[in-house]
Amino acid sequence: QQQVKQSPQSLIVQKGGISIINCAYENTAFDYFPWYQQFPGKGPALLIAIRPDVSEKKEGRFTISFNKSAKQFSLHIMDSQPGDSATYFCAASITGGFKTIFGAGTRLFVKA
């Protein structure tokens, strides 16, 4: 029940295309859903996050879509660029609890 399932494991997208990464969770107590971005040799860093009181959050080219009834959320990267090539992790936690569970990660490669 603590798991966060992420797919796909890897993704190749043409420059200018849309990258979509999906996640599903089981624990309905989760109320904070961040996405982290990790470049090679670096630690993960927060990219964007959503709480279940909204169905969508957009920051620049990055959008999270959230479906509370299906217990799923996804990251959309519009106009994908080679600089977006990284590993993306979805995650879930309970506000104030701080125990954050991460998905397995998606390695995104954007072809120039």
By the criterion CB under 8 A, which residues form the site for another protein?
A: 32, 34, 41-46, 49, 89, 93, 95-105
Cβ distance to another protein smaller for residue 73 or 89: 89
Smallest gap, in angstroms, from Cβ of residue 98 to another protein?
A: 5
- Give the tokens for residue 31: 């109320």
Cβ distance to another protein smaller for residue 83 or 99: 99
- Give the tokens for residue 92: 């879930």
Angle among Cα 37, 41, 110 to the nearest 5 degrees reads 50
Smallest gap, in angstroms, from Cβ of residue 67 to another protein?
A: 20
Smallest gap, in angstroms, from Cβ of residue 100 to another protein?
A: 6
Task: Find out whether 75 and 90 touch, Cβ atoms under 8 Å.
Answer: yes
Cβ distance to another protein smaller for residue 47 or 110: 47
Cβ distance to another protein smaller for residue 35 or 63: 35
Within a 13 Å sphere around the CA of 112, how many CA atoms are in the beta-carbon half? Answer: 2
Question: Would you state the torsion angle of the CA atoms of residues 82, 10, 33, 18, taken in this order, to the nearest 10 degrees?
Answer: 50
Smallest gap, in angstroms, from Cβ of residue 38 to another protein?
A: 8
- Tokens 């954050």 label which residue? 100
